Every structure is written in C-alpha cells, then in structure tokens.
Amino acid sequence: MAKIRETPYFGVYSDGENFYTLNAVSGTSVYGEVLVREKDREYRRWNPMRSKLSAMLHKKLKNFAFQERTEVLYLGAASGTTVSHISDILTRGRIYAVEISRTPFVGLLKLAEVRKNIVPLLADASKTYTYSPVVQKVDVIYQDIAQKNQVEIFVEAAKECLRENGTGYLIIKAPAIDSTKKAGEVLKFCMTRIEENGLKICEKLTLEPFDADHGVLVIHK
C-alpha cells in the first residue's frame, strides 16, 4: 500500500486512493472501518459509501471548513459514523450531534463516552429551541436529514446557531423533497430557497456514484 500522506484538507490524509483521519481512540474502529498503522500513528479509513463527507472529498470538495478548534452542529447524526471522523479532526473543537431516533442515539452516546469532544443531543432538528440553548453559536452546520422540509430546517438552524461568516453543508436528499422530479431540478429549487433567505451558496456537488439522488450545497452566512 502507498504511504499515507497529508492532504490539503486539514486533518485528512490519503494514500492516493482512500482518505483517512488520525484515530483519536487508538485500536478502536467505530463502524468496522479499516485501521492502518504507520510508525507511531494509527489511521482510520474514511469510507465514502458510509460517509457523505468522505464522498464530498472524493468529489473534490473545494470548501472544507473543519479545523482544529471548529465548533460544529451536526443535524441528523445517527449513530455517529461521520461524526467520529470529524471528531478525529477537531482535536480542540466540539461537535453538537443532534439525533431524534433513540435507537441510533444509543450508539452516539457510546461514542461520546470515549470521544469527549462529542456532545450528543436527543432532539428534533426541526425544533431549534430543543437544542439551541446548549449549542448557542457554531462555526459549521452539517445537516443530513431526509425530510421534505430539510431546507427550512437548515435555514432556521442557520439563523439561530450559525455564526456570521460560518459555513453550512446541506445534504439534499432529492426524493424526500419531491420524488417526481430529477435530482438536478430539486437541487435548483433548494438553491433558490436558500438564497431567498439571505444565505450564499458557494459550492454545489452531486454525490454519484457514492449516493444516488443526493446533492450537497455548501453555504456561507
């Protein structure tokens, strides 16, 4: 295997084919991902079929807002697959991980027991008042929710919780919004709604072949 090297993305590494993060909990995998040790460092392979953020990197994402001290609000955290890789990157930051379903939330709680920069919140992402008093203001909002009103959820969260000049990653699940239209049409509709609310779209991506009918809007406040 090729040597693992740094990439232009902070805290992300690559062997030329796969992306990795430096394991914050040595010897432990989160979702069965491959662990690779080089000298005194252990890396976790970041599976783009399991994590849309990894898929974005494979699609040559231009705007990567995660840094050592970044504060992140993650809406739709599930059991924490992508959250765990962000946790590796944010060595002095914090992730507020919001999940409404109790079953995956159990996994999120277990993850937070060993990764102290994760704050798990059992809450409804569409009701900002259930989590905003804890979260207050963050640098990044990352949203991965399959609901018809997913754009409205993001807009409200950005108004309440995103700092000025903050960055948002809105994953658009097109069939959840309108299953009768092509993903590109749905993405254009969502872009219009975002801009109508005074937010700026700085990048858009589709996630094929990793996730069909999914797009990403990178948004600046």
Nearest CA-CA partner of 102 in 82, 127, 122: 122
Nearest-angstrom CA–CA distance, 58 and 19: 8
Domains and CATH numbers, the chain: 5-46 (3.30.200.20), 52-220 (3.40.50.150)
Chain segment 46-74, per-residue pLDDT in tens: 999 999 999 999 999 999 999 999 999 99
What confidence tens digit (pLDDT) does each residue in 178-214 have? 888 888 888 889 999 999 999 999 999 999 999 888 8
Pairing of strands 19-22, 35-38: unpaired
Burial class (CB in 10 A: 0-12, 13-18, 19+), 16: exposed
pLDDT of residue 1: 65
The pTM for the full model equals: 0.96
- pLDDT tens for 113-146 read 999 999 999 999 999 999 999 998 999 999 999 9
User: Does the bond joining 48 to the residue before it have cis omega, within 30 degrees of 0?
Assistant: no
